Amino acid sequence: MLWLKAFHIFFVTSWFAGLFYLPRLFVNLAMVPADSHAERERLLLMAGKLYRFMTPLGVLAVVLGLWLWFGGFGFAGGWLHLKTALVVLLIIYHGYCGRLLQVFTRGGNDKSHVWFRFFNELPVLVLLAVIFLAVLKPF
């Protein structure tokens, strides 16, 4: 079981690195001047590669988390249900990032860099809540 936990933590950490950085690339994309095609293409290339890299990491994090939960390792409690709901929120966030990347690729972004700066903070808040739930198991 400790091996599963270790790999789960590794994949969660790796997935979050992408969840933290991809929206930051969106901030930069939203700030690119219209005539700066090379900069825009470079940022789009980076964002696309990052999204393709972080997606399997997220899948592995979720699969291992479910394995730990349903594999008979004794994890139970309301805290785990709330944590799972937050993970579902992160999965939706991840998918929405993919949708935003498609919008940027088509050149149709209508959101400001300020909006993306706030959007970028959501996974930080969710991670904090998940850590507190997993460590404190408050209910």
Domains of the chain by residue range: 2-136
Cβ-in-10-Å burial (0-12, 13-18, 19+) of 54 comes to buried
Q: pLDDT in tens for each of the 139 residues of the chain?
A: 899 999 999 999 999 999 999 999 999 999 999 899 999 999 999 999 999 999 999 999 999 999 998 886 666 788 999 999 999 999 999 999 999 999 999 999 999 999 999 999 999 999 999 999 999 999 8
DSSP string over 16-53: HHHHHHHHHHHHHHHHS-TT-HHHHHHHHHHHHHHHHH
Displacement of CA 90 from its chain's centroid (Å): 6
Report DSSP state, residue 72.
T
Question: Structure pTM?
Answer: 0.93
